């Protein structure tokens, strides 16, 4: 089975381009399944269901979503194997720009959109920097110049990535994306022992453990203060 980890800021077009790629995969006769990770709520599973592919969703709720991803990805792979998928795609929203869900030996895709502003590539961090493929969406609503400035910045942050423009509405570029995603020679049956590409923050503070009160005397563990310059 092929495994693909898709990540990117909220509303960047992840679901849209995955749905378009699924259409292309179906035409090629490949069976696809999707597992959607989110925090509190998602409707994406319904969209995937409508497109007729097996789908599961995982809501991290009270946990950090990226930690939740890391703790569940092995079961996700088992589910994919059980369903005899050719291709299993996970979608997770990058929520804090600090972490990324990519695993060292699994294809990682970052989806960002042209509308998010030209300083976004700099802000995103490992989610963009350590992706194998960067998909840029919403090119239909900006000018060629903005597309060029934006993708120049993406490649300054991640010069090794393949950069692809895909339109999440019309599907232009999705066929091409599907060709890049699937690799005949890849067969993942387990992710046991694989490593995250980028370590998650090691810090734990009082608020991680349920503290709600504000004030110095309640803050234990790893606290960090802003630098006020005086």
Closest CA to 121 of 163, 158, 173: 158
- Tell me: does residue 44 bind Mg ion (CB under 5 A): yes
Find which of ligand GDP, another protein, Mg ion, none residue 8 binds, CB within 5 to 8 Å per kind. ligand GDP
Q: Is 52 left (phi over 0), alpha (psi -120 to 50) or beta?
A: left
Among 116, 137, 151, 158, binds ligand GDP (CB under 6 A): 137
Our measurement of the distance from residue 16's CA atom to the centroid of its chain's CA atoms, rounded to an integer in Å, reads 13
Buried b / exposed e along 118-139 (16+ C-beta atoms within 10 A): eebbeebbbbbbbbbbbbbbbb
145 binds another protein (CB under 8 A): yes
The DSSP bridge partners found for residue 221 are 205
Q: Is 140 in the site for another protein (CB under 8 A)?
A: yes
CA distances from 149 to 27, 91, 121, 142 (A): 34, 27, 11, 11
Closer residue to ligand GDP in complex, CB, 111/188: 111
Q: Which residue is nearest to Mg ion (CB)?
A: 15
Return the structure tokens found at 215: 């004030």
Question: What is the Cα–Cα distance from 103 to 147, expressed in whole angstroms?
Answer: 29
Instruction: Give the range of 1-9, 40-48, 57-65, 172-180 binding another protein by CB under 8 A.
Output: 172-180
Binding of residue 98 to another protein (CB under 8 A): yes
Shortest distance, CB of residue 192 to ligand GDP, whole angstroms? 28
User: Contact, 150 vs 138, CB < 8 A?
Assistant: no
The contact pattern for another protein, residues 24-63, with x = CB under 8 A and - = no contact, is ---x------------------------------------
Restricting to residues 10-39, name those near Mg ion by CB under 5 A: 14-15
Cβ-based nearer residue to ligand GDP, 173 or 188: 173
Binding residues for ligand GDP (CB under 6 A): 8, 10-16, 137-138, 140-141, 167-169
């Amino acid at each position: 089975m092929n495994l693909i980890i898709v990540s990117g800021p909220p509303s960047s077009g992840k679901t849209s381009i995955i749905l378009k790629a699924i259409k292309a995969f179906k035409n090629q006769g490949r069976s696809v399944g999707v597992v959607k990770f989110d925090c509190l709520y998602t409707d994406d599973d319904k969209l995937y269901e409508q497109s007729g592919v097996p789908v599961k969703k995982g809501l991290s709720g009270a946990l950090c979503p990226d930690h939740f991803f890391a703790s569940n990805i092995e079961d996700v792979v088992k589910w994919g194997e059980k369903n005899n998928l050719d291709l299993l795609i996970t979608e997770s929203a990058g929520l804090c720009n600090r972490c990324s869900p990519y695993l060292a030996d699994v294809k990682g895709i970052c989806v960002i959109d042209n509308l998010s502003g030209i300083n976004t590539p700099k802000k995103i961090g490992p989610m963009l920097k350590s992706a194998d493929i960067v998909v840029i969406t919403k090119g239909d609503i900006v000018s060629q110049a903005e597309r060029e400035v934006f993708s120049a910045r993406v490649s300054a942050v991640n010069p090794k990535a393949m950069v692809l423009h895909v339109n999440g509405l019309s599907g232009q570029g999705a066929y091409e994306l599907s060709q890049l995603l699937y690799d005949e020679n890849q067969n993942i049956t387990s992710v046991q022992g694989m490593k995250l590409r980028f370590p998650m923050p090691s810090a734990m503070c009082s608020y991680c453990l349920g503290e709600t009160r504000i004030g110095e005397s309640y803050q234990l563990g790893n606290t960090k203060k802003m630098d006020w310059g005086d």
